[in-house]
């Protein structure tokens, strides 16, 4: 019985839903800087569709493998992303290639995102955030 429960939990975490902790200022004011527990839908991105504009996703950090990012999808394949580049001090335009999306944090001043590393490969997307489930007084649907 214990083995069956363990297998069920593993399969649920890998293919259905998982919970992920989130901290840091990049998604303020949507999420606090610490102690957030998010419910992530991994089924949709693996079997149904790519993330849509406006959805919040969990993704592997392209420059720090093993760490995750929580960001909002701003643009999808084939669209043009416009952003201010702090390195060149100019507005830039980038066309999002097939199999990629453009992500940014809600707190632009405190976020490392596609403005730093460019369009994100869909292969790195782990899932779509469906709800914040902790803290209890701030439970919300995303």
Positive or negative: CA dihedral 127, 129, 131, 135: positive
The residues, any chain, with a CB within 8 Å of residue 66's CB and separated by 6 or more, are 60
Q: List, in sequence order, the alpha helices (H) in 16-113.
A: 43
- Catalytic option among 12, 14, 71, 93: 71
Q: Say if CB 104 and CB 110 are below 8 A apart.
A: no
Question: Is 71 designated active site?
Answer: yes
Q: Say if CB 30 and CB 56 are below 8 A apart.
A: yes
- Catalytic option among 14, 26, 89, 93: 26
What kind and span of H or E run contains 116? helix 114-117
Alpha-carbon distance of 19 to 23, in angstroms, equals: 13
Instruction: State both tokens at 73.
Output: 């999808």
Question: Is 86 designated active site?
Answer: no
Which residues are known catalytic residues?
26, 71
């Amino acid at each position: 019985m214990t083995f069956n429960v363990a297998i069920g939990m593993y399969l649920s975490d890998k293919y259905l839903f998982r919970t992920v902790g989130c901290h840091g200022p990049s998604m303020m004011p949507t999420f606090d800087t610490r102690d957030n527990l998010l419910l992530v839908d991994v089924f949709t991105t693996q079997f149904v569709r790519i993330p849509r504009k406006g959805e919040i996703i969990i993704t592997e950090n392209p420059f720090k493998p093993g760490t995750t990012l929580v960001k909002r999808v701003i643009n999808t394949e084939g669209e043009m992303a416009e952003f201010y580049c702090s390195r060149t001090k100019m507005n830039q335009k980038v066309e999002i290639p097939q199999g990629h999306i453009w992500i940014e944090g809600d707190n632009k001043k405190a976020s490392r995102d596609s403005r730093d590393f460019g369009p994100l490969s869909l292969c790195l997307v782990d899932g779509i955030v469906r709800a914040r489930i902790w803290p209890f007084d701030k439970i919300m649907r995303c």
